Amino acid sequence: MPALVGQAPVNRSAKSKIYSATLHLWRLFAVMLKVKLAKHYDFALPVGTVLHDYTITRVLSLGGFSVVYLAKDAQKTTVAIKEYMPVTLAERDGDTHIRSNGKNEAAYKHGMKCFFEEGLALANIEHKNIVRVKNFFRANSTVYMVMKYERGKSLQDYITSLSHPVPETFLIRMFVELLNGLREVHSRKLLHLDIKPANIYIRLDGSPVLLDFGSARQALSEVTLAPTYTPGFAPPEQYMDRKHLGPWSDIYSIGASLYACMQRSSPVAANLRLKQDTLVPAIELGREIYSEKLLTLIDECMQLDYLLRPQSVFSLQKKMINIPLVADSRGSLVDKILKVLTKPL
């Protein structure tokens, strides 16, 4: 997604123009991405394929690391199934089986092992704000993760559907609740490593759920040195000093996600910021729209030096809870969220 670089807006009119321009760019990027991925749908399993007791009904998403399908189980319950399929390292052998393409078989096998371990770890977490893994199994020479299917839309889709800045009250309430789930993840010595608006799902009741953990992708990076992170949301240490990864790494991504909600596009990538930091501070970008406390907190989360960020989700959550909530004069926040989320998927 394109990053907004330049001087901070000085009035509401200028900000509105910038919001409209960046919103257009984000939507254009999403369309281009869908077209690009559509060309690679031959990597996906055909509709009607049966995996154990699950029948594939359609492809939900296809990325460079995995394919996510919508499926029905034996009781006709809808589930989401994630298939380990790193497109640069593997190929489909016939309609179903997957095998290494020979470019880096060690990396392919290592990634599969980490994907399986990720499923095992997530299956032991039952938390309202974390994607629920119901089952995981091996088939077709790869690994599958069966997840509870949630109705709603991603935070990214919600952002792009609005014609005005995301309300601060919504941001604070949503992220405070989301941090409950992230605290549970960190308490189990796990990191997410791919937090971004596209991986934050908002249910029909307005509650958030964190999707698509990046631990297996991180493992692939360690073996192949390939960039498997998301530019703009990955912290500096995820690019180079991986020994410094910790809860503060996910906190950087939380700050970047909040920043993206204001800007409607991803922030400047951390590796570029290390060379020349052109990121407009949140305190300038969101002036006159968001509170100083929230903007200051976002800037703290996005510090390049991990020691200067909040060191735990608990400390971040505590600061966020202490930000006074201001009533949104543009109408009921819940009504607006439900209006957006209940549109046809």
Q: What are the tens digits of pLDDT across the range 286-312? A: 998 999 999 999 999 999 999 999 999
Report pLDDT digits (tens) over 25-69: 555 545 444 444 444 456 789 999 999 999 999 998 877 788 999
Q: Are 213 and 193 in contact (CB under 8 A)?
A: yes
Name the CA dihedral angle for 112, 118, 121, 122, rounded to a multiple of 10 degrees.
-130
Q: What is the pLDDT of residue 34?
A: 47
Q: Could you tell me whether strands 90-93 and 97-100 are parallel, antiparallel, or unpaired per DSSP bridges?
A: antiparallel
Handedness of CA 334, 301, 321, 314 (dihedral sign): positive
Q: Whole-angstrom Cα distance, residue 98 to residue 180?
A: 37
- DSSP structural state of residue 130: B
Q: Residue 206's closest CA among 340, 342, 53, 337?
A: 337
Q: What is the pLDDT of residue 26?
A: 53
| Domains located in the chain, CATH noted | 12-30+151-341 (1.10.510.10), 41-148 (3.30.200.20)
Given the structure tokens 């819940």, which residue do they identify? 334
For the chain, percent of residues with pLDDT exceeding 90: 48
Whether the per-residue pLDDT at 131 is higher than 50: the answer is yes
Whether the per-residue pLDDT at 167 is higher than 80: the answer is yes
Q: Are 316 and 254 in contact (CB under 8 A)?
A: yes
Of 136 and 8, which is predicted with more confidence? 136
Q: Which of 186-190, 193-197, 214-218, 252-256 has the highest mean pLDDT?
A: 252-256
In angstroms and rounded to an integer, the radius of gyration of the C-alpha atoms of the chain is 20
Which residues 6+ apart lie within 8 Å of 176 measured at CB?
A: 317, 320, 321
Q: Which of 27-31, 209-213, 223-227, 309-313 has the highest mean pLDDT?
A: 309-313
Alpha-carbon 56 to chain mean position? 24
pTM, entire model = 0.78
Q: What is the pLDDT of residue 86?
A: 87
For residue 113, CA distances in Å to 14, 120, 167, 220, 268 come to: 50, 11, 41, 10, 32
- DSSP structural state of residue 312: S
Q: How many CB atoms lie within 10 A of CB 77?
A: 12
Q: Whole-angstrom Cα distance, residue 64 to residue 87?
A: 5
Whether the per-residue pLDDT at 224 is higher than 50: the answer is no
- Which H or E element spans position 90? strand 90-93
For residue 275, CA distances in Å to 26, 271, 291, 302 come to: 25, 7, 30, 15
Whether the per-residue pLDDT at 84 is higher than 80: the answer is yes
What the block records as the tokens of 263 is 């800007």
Whether the per-residue pLDDT at 339 is higher than 80: the answer is no
For the chain, percent of residues with pLDDT exceeding 70: 77
Report pLDDT digits (tens) over 154-165: 999 988 888 888
Task: Summarize the confidence of residues 105-129 as an average pLDDT.
Answer: 86
Instruction: Tell me the sheet residues that pair with 90.
Output: 100
Q: What is the pLDDT of residue 89?
A: 87
Q: Whole-angstrom Cα distance, residue 341 to residue 155?
A: 10
- Which H or E element spans position 340? helix 333-341
Q: For 28-32, 100-104, 119-123, which range has the lowest pLDDT when averaged over its residues?
A: 28-32
Of 213 and 255, which is predicted with more confidence? 255
- Which H or E element spans position 81? strand 78-84
Average per-residue pLDDT in the chain? 81
